Structure 1
Amino acid sequence: MSNTPHELIEEFPDKVEIMRELKVSDAHFAKLFDQYHEVNRAIHRAETNVEPTEQLHEGELRKQRMALKDEIAQLISAAQTA
């Protein structure tokens, strides 16, 4: 278990400018970006026992974070090729 937050800026360090542009120009991307950070913070709080949660719930949050990250990565990739 990692207690290090998985911030998008750390996950995609070479895509920071594209993410900034997409947050402004693409409402769907902005929504996914915000959802990712909300879920990521919940996971971090659970990992550090600030807000303990059941393992099953934490696992579901991790799956949700991965799905959001995958969709964000796809949108970043599409924006790079556009």
Structure 2
Amino acid sequence: MFVCNCFGVTEAQVKKHAADGACTPRQIASACKAGTDCGSCVRRIQALLGRGALPGRDTAKQDIPALAEAGRRQERLDEAA
């Protein structure tokens, strides 16, 4: 199923980029251009990335193991950018 019709990016491609470390729509865009033309696919990309379920940094700093790891991962990605 296509996620981005403008660039022909499929759901499987977005999931592969996510598995390779992309965890934001911007990182997906850098990997395959999805979301950079009309923008109508950005919400679908967010859903595939689980953006609604991922904690913010403030929540991650409460020392809940899974949440803390998600926060640390995002901080490493932000530092690398």
TM-score by length of 2: 0.29
Quick check: which one's helix share is greater? 1
Quick check: which one's strand share is greater? 2
Higher relative contact order structure (alpha carbons within 8 Å, sequence separation ≥ 6) = 1
